[in-house]
A and B are shown apart, each in its own frame.
Chain A
Amino acid sequence: MIHYILRRTLIAIPTLLVISFIIFAILDLAPNDPTGNLPMTVPPEVRAKIRSSLGLDEPMHIRFGLWLVQFCVNEPLNILYEGFGISIGDAENRTRIISWSTRSPVVDLIIQRTPQTLWVVGLSYLFGILIAIPIGIVSAYRQYSWFDQVGTFISMVGFSVPTFFTGMVAIIIFSVQLRWFPMIYDTTLEVDSWQNFVSQVKQMIMPVAVLALYNASQLSRFMRASILDNLNLDYVRTARSKGLSERVVLLIHVLRNSLIPVVTLIALGIPTIFSGAIITEQIFRVNGLGQLLIIAIESADIPLVQTLTFIFAIMIVVFNLIADVVYGILDPRIRYE
């Protein structure tokens, strides 16, 4: 097992290198000028100086190498230095990835935005899982009952209807018509009193509910299929013939085995919900990572876009690895040679 994990990690590194190069190359191939937004009165010599100060004169492979060093060495060391006070090497004069439009280090921007995304996305995923598993169990156990029919239909709808439409409908109903919840997520709100806590909960309900519905509809379909696969297996018959109650058979024997593929799917889904959150954050104006990416793209802030996209890629690769390892641990029948 450890051998397998090691090998997979070693494969993941070149994959990530290639991906980071693809991202870098796409951004580099594109016609783009960081001085394009400056006033027309700025003379060409000054523009050339600005460009060379941003390091754009260097050939592509050198810039890629420098960026990699900054991302993989300088930034983690800096986090160590600022977060824990551990300094390795020359901590003060280390070059960092600087955003073109805000002139502040990219990683600082990302750290500022992460909590909002984690709260909204994390809670919605958690609720999605909590809704999906019981629905999946009941609709598989009572297959073709009215509950199953309705549940299957709703999950089909939830799965097909894009979040930007459900979100908009939720805004029309609950913000415009009923005026229950605010339309715009207020990130400056600090939870220091009961009243603020209530308004924080209020503004989180809609984004979390919309994303949770979407996640739940995908997961519950999968959960149902997984339980149905297990219900007809021999060990279930054995358990029943031993005289165990249906409750024990279903919730202990079947559920534990059916959860194995579902857990893998949950791990695999985490990176996709982060990119899905790009849309949800845009609907409800949550200023999280997704919105940061959109702003960066619109202002052609190449270093920021590159770093964020690469972080998304790292998440996909890492969670793929986690899913594989978890599957192997949970299901000993899977043998890794």
Chain B
Amino acid sequence: MWSTVFLILEFAMNENTQSTEIAGDEHFPTEELETLTQHRSLWGDVWRQFRKHKGAMMGVIVFIFITLMVSLGPLLHDIEPSAINFRERNFGPTLAHPLGTDNIGHDTLAQMLAGGQVSLAVGFSAMLIALLLGTLIGVLAGFFKSLDGPLMRLTDLFLALPILPLLLVIILLFRDTLRTLYGPEAGIFMLIVFVIGITSWMHTARIVRSDVLGIKEREFVIAAHSIGTRKRRIIFRHILPNILSPIMVSATLGIANAIITESALSFLGLGFPPDFPTWGRLLYDGANFIQITPARVIWPGLFIALTVLSVNYIGDGLRDALDPRLRG
């Protein structure tokens, strides 16, 4: 797909230089000349198109804000998330506890910040695993004909698995083993990231495969073959850069999916333990106190929703910006 973009761009640039030659004296004012001769890179174009998408720009701002908040927030608000204070139970918002406290006096804001770090970390890591697996399987299936059949059957098989019930079962059954092996926090984190990662790569693999199938037959790849380029080099040098756009879009969707899946698991009581909370776990714990302190449900839920919404909007904007047919 992108090779055509390059061609079109090159063509457009040639035209620009031609027109500048003609225009040199009277037709074009000097400022316009400068903008025309300026180098336009592909990523510059994508960025220019991306900026036009209002929702996507809002998404970027919100997402950066949330990331900064959970990473820098604990420096400003220095109450320990696990500190228990029985004198200050079920408080509404006060100066010391801007979001109130829970039934054993945990500070809700501190817990929200700590939980956000874990939720975002789970989202990113699970997305990376899914993306790596999906790209690997997609490229292998698309590039090597002999692997196509078996790998696609495998993908179909994974798509037919009832994911949520299986995730619940796997987590319940292997939770204790991993906890004793790697400690309570690292163990459960690894387990959840791993199981979400290996159950959400299928869509990436399908998209990547179909794109690779198209690009494989293009002239520049055939040319690379004919001068004796090794397969590995063709994949890394020619195929991968050209399928970057579907991979990037899947990455954003992957983060959203991983955050939702993790919070759903925690919400069902089978995710993170209460002493190592994520937003989903905070929501689950707050659900029992919904009549006393509804804020304990609202805040974590709102932040899950905002994060997922912003990531989805970024994905939407990226898809539009990376599609050369839509790019102006």
Contacts and interface: CB of A to CB of B under 8 A. Distances in A.
A260 B301 CA distance: 36
Interface in A244-302: 271, 275-276, 278-279, 282-283, 293-294, 297-298, 300
Contacts of B297: 165, 168-169, 172
A22 B316 CA distance: 35
A276 B260 CA distance: 12
A32 B304 contact: no
A289 to B, nearest CB: 10
Contacts, number: 119
Given A30-B174, A172-B297, A162 B287 contact: no
B290 A298 contact: no
B283 A309 contact: no
Contact of B309 (A160, A171, A305, A309): A160
A23 B161 CA distance: 9
Interface residues of A, number: 44
Contact of B169 (A168, A171, A297): A297
Contact of A176 (B156, B161, B294, B312): B294
A334 B165 CA distance: 34
Looking at chain B's contact residues, is the secondary structure mostly helix, strand, loop, or mixed? helix
Given A162-B305, A165-B305, A308 B160 contact: no
Contacts of B160: 15, 19, 313, 316-317, 320
A172 B283 CA distance: 13
Given A27-B169, A31-B173, A162-B260, A271 B162 contact: yes
B304 A165 contact: yes
A172 B289 CA distance: 11
Contacts of A308: 165
Given A15-B160, A18-B157, A294-B268, A164 B169 contact: no
Given A27-B169, A32-B173, A282-B267, A309 B162 contact: yes
Contact of B176 (A31, A171, A317): A31
A293 B156 CA distance: 24
B18 interface: no
Contacts of A329: none
A248 B270 CA distance: 52
Nearest to A312: B162
Contacts of A18: 157
Contacts of B162: 271, 275, 309, 312-313, 316
Contacts of A31: 173, 176-177
B202 to A, nearest CB: 12
A80 interface: no
- Please indicate which of the listed interface residues B168, B298, B309 has the most CB atoms of chain A within 10 Å of its own CB: B168
B165 A26 contact: no
Contacts of A23: 166, 169
8 contacts: A15-B157, A26-B169, A156-B313, A157-B305, A157-B309, A164-B283, A279-B264, A305-B169
